[in-house]
Chain A
């Protein structure tokens, strides 16, 4: 009974070719997050949605965009992937955006390779 689902698990794209990663959740959580994680590093928050409100991190490149068409789904769009964007992309959800309710449930991740 998967709760946070990411598709695909592995994605290969070419340099500069747009790619979309998908996340869905069955938890009915208000908040959905996208993280980038490079090898041996901590997850780095790119942005999050609180319901329909989009919140971008200050240092997230414009190359990264996101959409949340409904409560269950959230997409990460990389408009022109560069070699440096190769990473694991993690989707997470939490019930709310506040300490104590911020336990984040992570999906299995999508491993992006850029050729």
Chain B
């Protein structure tokens, strides 16, 4: 069968609180970044993206922050809801390909 998976970093957050998920990317030449949300048994779903000429972008209840100096990307979710429980992946576009980072699991406590 399938090999045993790795344990994902997990963020447990109370419903209604804000969540912050962090991602360190590896390629300083990457110029486009995406956050994906993946619920159990489903494919990744696009949440928000940001280009390297920006340091902040806001969506509905989500904000992505980009710090190119330290190659760090974060996703902030405001007023976290039970439906936000999922694994979140950052992805970077660089060297002509999209590379996914390790996932972060968010568990929302009602």
Interface residues, chain A, with chain B CB atoms under 8 Å away: 4, 6, 38-43, 45, 83-84, 86-87, 90, 92, 97, 99-100, 102-109, 111, 113-114
Contact = CB atoms under 8 A, between A and B. Distances in A.
B2 A38 contact: yes
B2 A99 contact: no
Contacts of B96: 97
Contacts of A107: 43
Contacts of B94: 99
B96 to A, nearest CB: 8
Nearest to B92: A99
Majority DSSP secondary structure for residues of B touching A: loop
A38 B87 CA distance: 13
A38 B3 contact: yes
Nearest to A33: B98
Closest 10 CB pairs of A and B: A39-B5, A40-B5, A106-B43, A42-B100, A99-B32, A86-B2, A99-B93, A106-B44, A109-B43, A40-B6
A90 B45 CA distance: 12
Interface residues of B, number: 31
Contact of B44 (A90, A97, A99): A90
A97 B95 CA distance: 12
A26 B68 CA distance: 36
Nearest to B8: A40
A114 B97 contact: no
Contacts of B1: 83, 86, 113-114
B69 to A, nearest CB: 20
Given A100-B32, A102-B93, A102-B98, A41 B5 contact: yes
Nearest to B30: A99
Contacts of A38: 2-3, 5
B7 interface: yes
